[in-house]
Structure 1
């Protein structure tokens, strides 16, 4: 999967988990826009839709900090080596080990 298609897969997953109408409301776009983008028939550029999808669905709530973080930051924390020289970072890393949102290395969709 290319980075450009990540947002589209996120959109598909969100619609599968709920509905086009619910996803459109969360993105603050029309249901028709969501439908056309998913069908590959959106007449314009999809940059704005992609940006909204990444802002809304491209974040998770970090179980360590309680703050929203991007998926890429989450993955980088989860897959790094133990930061033995920094007790605060080590605490965060340990939380990542048991996090239910933890990405599994080597597994792709």
Structure 2
């Protein structure tokens, strides 16, 4: 019996988050949380035997499971929610939202601007 080599992505952040979610929710539950009706692809990725590319899957995992502790809201946000708050234009209709926007502009968690 030969040992199965670890997948090349085994040490990447998205895979570690996926493994943690699978340990917590099971493979089927994790696939459902990611929006997949079928758990086969999730299982194959976890087992290192998925034949396709994993970029889109990795993006979905990070959007769903990668969180940031927002100091302004004092709660956890997904990375995509944090990015949406930080990159939006300054709100003009709500002083509460302006305070939040200003806090985002100087926050250590603020995502870096995309280079053109």
Fold shared per TM-score above 0.5: yes
Task: Number of aligned residue pairs: give it.
Answer: 74
In the aligned structure 1, how far is the partner of 2:19 from the partner of 2:31? 12
Structure 1 or 2: larger helix share?
A: 1
- Paired position in structure 2 for 1:7: 14
Give 3-state SS (helix, strand or coil) of 2:13's partner.
helix
Partner SS for 1:54? helix
- The CA distance in 2 between the partners of 1:27 and 1:69, in whole Å, is 13
Structure 1, unmatched stretches of 5+, are: 74-87, 94-109
> Residues 11 and 53 of structure 1 are in contact (CA less than 8 Å); yes or no, is this contact kept in structure 2?
yes
Q: CA deviation at 1:10?
A: 0.3
Deviations 1:72-99 (A, max 9, x none): x7xxxxxxxxxxxxxx86xxx8xxxxxx
Q: Which residue of the other structure, out of 13, 18, 28, is the alignment partner of 1:21?
A: 28
Match of 2:62 in 1: 54
Larger radius of gyration: 2
Corresponding position: 1:44 with 2:30: no
SS at match of 1:13: helix
TM-score (norm: length of structure 1): 0.55
